[in-house]
């Protein structure tokens, strides 16, 4: 029987070591983190390799083979090794110090997503050491470049080495990934999210040109003015609500069925109902984004000197789409809203993904969570960010977000993704590690 306190200590040690490897993307440099994972696995007798899609852009792959003669398709333990940049001056602690303070591990990647890299490492070690027969291969895939879309990570390996995600029995039956499994507390009740769908991405560029000149002689043919007007129109346009089945069921389970029912017919009333029911503003924004396509202007680049009217400028818009949205039609609509003074084009388009909410592995997640926390309520959900699930979908592999963490009601979990003072409680990992192991081992255990 696994001694979970010791396994949790090892998991935390691996998490701290990974945080101390600053695999910031851009530029990336994930190879040292991939080599760390490979070394841990090899020390336990598990074959592991580090593959680079480009110099320094390493991913770690390992496999525990099935032990039966007629195995089923594999299970992928999916994660990413890169992290987003930090504003060091805005952090209370060293973002790459991996300090353990009052039972909390601090550092960039603590929740996105080196905590799950460490948990999946720990699961691989426990599976290898258990000696239990397996009816599936278990594939460990800790990848580069998720934070920039996967060109040097998931998208590359899916296209160039699909064999990494399959066995002789076929493509993987499922992959377990980030952004799900964590608890949220509403009105005193605890819910566990099981991610079965995620929104699509249309990263969009808005370009403006004009007549350069001296800043002392202003005129209206100025790209800065054109971009400001276009971006404002896009931000103010808003999008109508459309409630998907997964979101409707999720809201019903949370006791927010009135919000979903009102969203399309009376948005103002829906907003009031949501604000009354959910105190956390970040959680409210997350729920609202599940109800509609969203448009977020996030960068504007125009001009180089205060006394020079620029000739060119561009803005970047993060557009996220619900399942069922015609992305090309939406892009054309955004062009019309932005106006004739600018050009609108998609830089990267990735469709939404959905996996079956009634799949066998989802049932195992529910059962494991309820055994660990009988007072909790597991609910399938759709997430608003994008993940490497989109790359897995190209191979027909359904991907589920399941990094189980039991969090106190006052932990601002969603705001820690890409935020300052990113951190994760040790108690959350101590809860989640045996839950994750139970799901993986049961799904892969031979009868």
Domain ranges for the chain: 4-196+353-444, 200-349
200-349: CATH topology: Alpha-Beta Plaits (3.30.70)
Residue 1 pLDDT? 54
Q: Which of 167, 144, 142, 170 is nearest to 156 (CA)?
A: 144
List phi, psi (to 5°) of 148.
-115, 15
What's the pTM?
A: 0.95
- As given in the structure block, the two tokens for residue 289 are 């984004």
Cα 346 to its chain centre, rounded Å, is: 21
Question: By three-state DSSP, how is residue 264 classified?
Answer: coil
Rounded CA separation 422/15 (Å): 13
Q: What is the average pLDDT across 150-165?
A: 98
Q: Give the CA angle between residues 55, 60, 62 to the nearest 5°.
A: 145
Residue 238 pLDDT? 82
Beta-bridged to residue 49, according to DSSP, are: 61
Which residues are CB-neighbours of 353 under 8 A, at least 6 positions away?
197, 198, 200, 389, 390, 393, 399
In the predicted structure, residue 84 carries a pLDDT above the cut 60: yes
- As given in the structure block, the two tokens for residue 238 are 């808003």
List phi, psi (to 5°) of 221.
-85, 60
Omega cis (within 30) before 113: yes
What CATH number is given for 4-196+353-444 in this structure?
3.40.630.10
The mean pLDDT value of the chain amounts to 97
Percent of the chain with pLDDT strictly greater than 70: 100
Element (H or E) spanning 336, and its range?
helix 327-338
Q: Which of 382, 399, 234 is nearest to 318 (CA)?
A: 234
Residue 406 pLDDT? 98
Cα dihedral value 353, 359, 361, 367, nearest 10: 120
Rounded CA separation 334/233 (Å): 9
In the predicted structure, residue 265 carries a pLDDT above the cut 90: yes
Residue 277 pLDDT? 95
In the predicted structure, residue 342 carries a pLDDT above the cut 80: yes
Q: Give the CA angle between residues 113, 114, 117 to the nearest 5°.
A: 100
298-to-165, 315, 316, 332 alpha-carbon distances in Å: 34, 8, 6, 20
Q: How does pLDDT run across 374-404, given as a tens digit for each residue?
A: 999 999 999 999 999 999 999 999 999 999 9
Q: Which of 186, 139, 145, 112 is nearest to 383 (CA)?
A: 112
| CB-based contact 16:100 (threshold 8 Å) | yes
Q: What is the average pLDDT across 312-316?
A: 98
Residue 158 pLDDT? 98
Cα 300 to its chain centre, rounded Å, is: 25
Residue 273 pLDDT? 97
């Amino acid at each position: 029987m696994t001694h979970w306190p010791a396994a949790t200590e090892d998991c935390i040690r691996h998490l701290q070591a990974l945080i101390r490897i600053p695999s910031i993307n851009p530029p990336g440099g994930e190879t040292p983190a991939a080599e760390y994972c490979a070394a841990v696995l090899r020390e336990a007798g598990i074959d592991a390799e580090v593959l680079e899609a480009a110099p320094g852009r390493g991913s770690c792959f390992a496999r525990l083979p099935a032990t039966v003669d007629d195995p089923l398709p594999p299970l992928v333990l999916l994660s990413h090794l890169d992290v987003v940049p930090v504003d060091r001056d805005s952090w209370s602690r060293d973002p790459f110090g991996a300090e353990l303070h009052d039972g909390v591990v601090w550092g960039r990647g603590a929740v996105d997503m080196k905590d799950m890299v460490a948990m999946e490492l720990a699961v691989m070690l426990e599976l290898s050491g258990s000696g239990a027969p397996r009816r599936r291969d278990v594939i460990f895939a800790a990848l580069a470049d998720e934070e920039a879309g996967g060109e040097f990570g998931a998208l590359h390996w899916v296209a160039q080495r699909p064999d990494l995600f399959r066995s002789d029995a076929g493509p993987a039956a499922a992959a377990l990934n980030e952004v799900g499994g964590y608890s949220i507390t509403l009105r005193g009740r605890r819910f566990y999210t099981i991610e079965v769908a995620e929104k699509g991405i249309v990263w969009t560029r808005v370009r403006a040109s004009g007549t350069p000149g001296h800043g002392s002689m202003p005129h209206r043919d100025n790209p800065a003015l054109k971009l400001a007007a276009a971006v404002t129109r896009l931000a103010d346009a808003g999008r109508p609500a459309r409630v998907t089945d997964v979101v409707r069921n999720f809201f019903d389970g949370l006791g927010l069925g009135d919000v979903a029912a009102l969203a399309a017919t009376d948005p103002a009333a829906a907003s009031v109902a949501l604000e009354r029911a959910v105190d956390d503003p970040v959680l409210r924004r997350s729920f609202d984004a599940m109800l509609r396509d969203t448009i977020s202007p996030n960068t504007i680049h125009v001009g180089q000197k205060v006394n020079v009217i620029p000739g060119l400028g561009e803005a970047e818009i993060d557009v996220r789409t619900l399942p069922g949205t015609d992305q090309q039609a939406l892009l054309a609509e955004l062009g019309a809203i932005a106006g004739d003074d600018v050009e609108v084009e998609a830089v990267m388009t990735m469709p939404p993904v959905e996996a079956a909410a009634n799949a066998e592995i989802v049932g195992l997640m529910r059962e494991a969570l309820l055994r660990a926390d009988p007072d909790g309520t597991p609910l399938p959900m759709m997430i608003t960010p994008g993940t490497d699930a989109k790359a897995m979908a190209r191979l027909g592999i359904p991907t589920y977000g399941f990094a189980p963490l039991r969090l106190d009601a006052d932990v601002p979990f969603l705001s820690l993704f890409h935020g300052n003072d990113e951190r994760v409680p040790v108690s959350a990992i101590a809860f989640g590690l045996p839950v994750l192991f139970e799901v993986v081992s049961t799904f892969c255990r031979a009868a």
